[in-house]
Structure 1
Amino acid sequence: MCSQLHGKCFCDCLNWKGVCIYQEFNNNGKAAKKGRETFRCKVKEVGHLEGDVLLIRFIAPHKLALDLVHPGSYVFIRTDENFYFDVPISIMESDIESDIVSIMIEIRGIKTKKLLDIKIDDEMVIRGPYWNGVFGLKSINELKDNKALVIARGIGMAPSIPVIRKLSNNKNTLKIVIDKSPYKDVYVNEYLKQYTEGYEEINTIDKGKLSDEIKKLILNEIANGVTLIHVAGADILSFKVIEFLDNIDKRDVKVSCCNNAKMCCGEGVCGSCTARFQGHRVKRLCKVQTDPRNIFEGRRFI
């Protein structure tokens, strides 16, 4: 990734927005830095909420629990020593008093299906911490004494909790919208009660487009002073919300959203998280931290 370490005499990190690799190399005595650590963590609780939804609580080292408190935190987990079965999962809650970390998993493929075999008192291998699970972190951290709208759909309910906690701790007034589809229930209800008085259930997507209900709600909330909209769901939901805001000329309303890139190494090396943009630009989404409008503008979806 680093042009200077390749032998060139100038910096050419055009699409790299992470930590300067060359500076880290120099500061570490001209040697590559040690990678993320792995931890063996004991499973405290396992809950099968639905056929394809799994809730796991595990005991983490105190330092790891502290690092995973922030919005956008995620880890790679696996049930054995085979590192090819690493699964990136966003953190739903990290309790720094009990060091218990909670994650909610949607079972999709062969990697996540192995997690169905986990039982209480088993050990999981955790690699982390990582923090780029949300785009627009700067907007979230800087919003104080203001108003924000949080729209969560499906499994996006889980990673929305740290964002809601951060916005609540910054004394913002929150409007929470939950679309539980395709699930039967809102499985983050107990966490929402800690940070907000309630939430509204609304269908957000109708035939691949934003529903009229959510459009009306967004307009009303902007009129009431909302300056930030956080979208926790699939890329199509984030894209449609940004498109709607730009169509009604509300580019001043800031947006943050989930990072749904397919990750493997988490370090910007393997290329599984890359997305291609106009002008043949390639961005590694596991490291890029920017406004979501920059992520979806000019992105080639096909």
Structure 2
Amino acid sequence: MNKLKKANIQLCADAGSKYCPCHLAYSGDCIKCPIIRGEKTCDCLWQGVCVYSELKHSQNTPMCERKESLCNIKEVKDLDSDIFLMKIQVPKDMIRDLCSPGAYVLIKSKDKNSDIFNTPISVMDVDMKSCILEVVVKSRGIKTKNIINFDQVWVKGPYFNGIFGIKQIKGAYKINTVVVLNGLSQVNSINIIKRLLENKNNVEVFINNKATVLQVVIDKLINLGVNIYETDLNKDKDFLIDYIRRNDVAFVYSGGSDLFNKYVMNIVDSVDENINLAVSNNNLICCGEGVCGACTIDVNGQKVKSCKAQIDSRDFLNSRNL
């Protein structure tokens, strides 16, 4: 019971959205609400709309499910070896939520009907006025290599749990922040940086130049007006440590592999373990709804559905065998 209580203080990324209550709530497996799970005490610490009340009120109404839409591909651009930028026209009601930090969609080729071909793709950027979604796709398997061969693509979303630490990103206000990026995980940084800038934070970006660096991301960062350091983060570790220390950095986002994110976490913690940390969610995601179980991981001895549950970044990285 005590272990369950520890896990339950984690926020579900869908809580409070129009997609709550979800399938897990209706089946009695809600991530957030212990009452729905059949426990006797309410200890979810959720300060938004009560999920249990919403479930009771919506018993006789259809559940709001994410829709799959066949969308026109407006442009495909070759960025690197087997890496493509896609601009996709998506429905207006979808685009509104895709500007959230950590937003992603499930995409599959036009010629595939089964959901087993869905692949999670991070949102890079959105054009709200034109309803254009920009994503970067690496062609490396049956799910992705055929996506660009048609003038349309299936898009399902929005989903929100592409990063751990959404609360810390949205709560950062008028502080010094650092964004550290490595490889293709750099693409999900645009929404994060936009939110940090909207909240009047100072943002400095460090990109590991020993991994893939996408010029399309660099151009967007330049347009946002942030300072960019392209550097070898292995050799120049002390430079990053010194920057964080000298500038009283209070928040760091690390976008990279789990191994890279743990490396950055150790750098941050060498300065101050109280600095807020957010990291990219690199776990296997299949259905995006916590139903299939493919995303389930062990954190502090608890089974956690990582496609929906917000996990403390340090707890997550320390639970990985890296």
TM-score tier (shorter): 0.7 to 0.9
Indicate yes or no: 2:132 matched with 1:100: yes
Moved more, 266-275 or 107-116: 107-116
After superposition, give the CA deviation of every residue in 1:196-238 in whole Å (9 maximum; x if it has no partner).
244111123xxxxxx1413431332232121111111111111
CA distance in 1, matches of 2:175, 2:292: 40
Letter in 1 for 2:223: Q
Secondary structure of 1:269's aligned partner: coil
CA distance in 2, matches of 1:76, 1:197: 30
Q: Which residue of 1 aligns with 2:171?
A: 142
Which of the residues 201, 207, 211 maps onto 1:178?
Answer: 207
CA distance in 2, matches of 1:153, 1:229: 14
Indicate yes or no: 2:72 matched with 1:42: yes
Contact 1:25 1:32 (8 Å CA) reproduced: no
Q: Which residue of 2 aligns with 1:208?
A: none
CA 264–12 in structure 1, closer or farther in 2 if over 3 Å, else same: farther
Secondary structure of 2:143's aligned partner: helix
1:180 CA displacement? 4.2
Which of the residues 194, 198, 207 maps onto 1:169?
Answer: 198
Indicate yes or no: 2:289 matched with 1:289: no
After superposition, give the CA deviation of every residue in 1:77-97 in whole Å (9 maximum; x if it has no partner).
111322211010010001111
Contact 2:175 2:250 (8 Å CA) reproduced: yes
Contact 2:285 2:295 (8 Å CA) reproduced: yes
Moved more, 257-266 or 107-116: 107-116
4+ runs of 1 displaced by more than 4 Å? 1-4, 6-9, 11-15, 17-24
Q: Which residue of 2 aligns with 1:111?
A: 143
Moved more, 124-133 or 211-220: 211-220
CA distance in 2, matches of 1:10, 1:19: 19
CA distance in 1, matches of 2:37, 2:101: 37
CA distance in 2, matches of 1:213, 1:294: 26
Structure 2 length-normalised TM: 0.81
Aligned residue-pair number: 290
Secondary structure of 1:260's aligned partner: coil
Contact 1:43 1:57 (8 Å CA) reproduced: yes
Letter in 1 for 2:231: I
Contact 2:104 2:120 (8 Å CA) reproduced: yes
1:183 CA displacement? 2.6
CA distance in 1, matches of 2:43, 2:292: 18
CA 85–238 in structure 1, closer or farther in 2 if over 3 Å, else same: same
1:245 CA displacement? 2.9
Structure 1 length-normalised TM: 0.86
Contact 1:141 1:166 (8 Å CA) reproduced: yes
Contact 2:181 2:255 (8 Å CA) reproduced: yes
Contact 2:79 2:214 (8 Å CA) reproduced: no
Indicate yes or no: 2:227 matched with 1:213: no
Q: Which residue of 1 aligns with 2:252?
A: 229
CA 184–226 in structure 1, closer or farther in 2 if over 3 Å, else same: closer
Q: Which residue of 2 aligns with 1:251?
A: 273
Where does structure 2 lack aligned partners over 5 or more consecutive residues?
1-23, 30-35
Q: Give aligned-pair identity as a percent.
A: 30
CA 265–24 in structure 1, closer or farther in 2 if over 3 Å, else same: farther
CA distance in 2, matches of 1:182, 1:89: 19
Matches within 5 A, 1:63-74: 63-74=93-104
1:10 CA displacement? 2.2
CA distance in 2, matches of 1:98, 1:221: 38
Secondary structure of 1:10's aligned partner: coil
Contact 1:25 1:31 (8 Å CA) reproduced: no
Which of the residues 85, 88, 97 maps onto 2:117?
Answer: 85
Q: Which residue of 2 aligns with 1:190?
A: 219
Contact 1:4 1:11 (8 Å CA) reproduced: no
Where does structure 1 lack aligned partners over 5 or more consecutive residues?
205-210
CA distance in 2, matches of 1:267, 1:82: 16
CA distance in 2, matches of 1:14, 1:234: 33
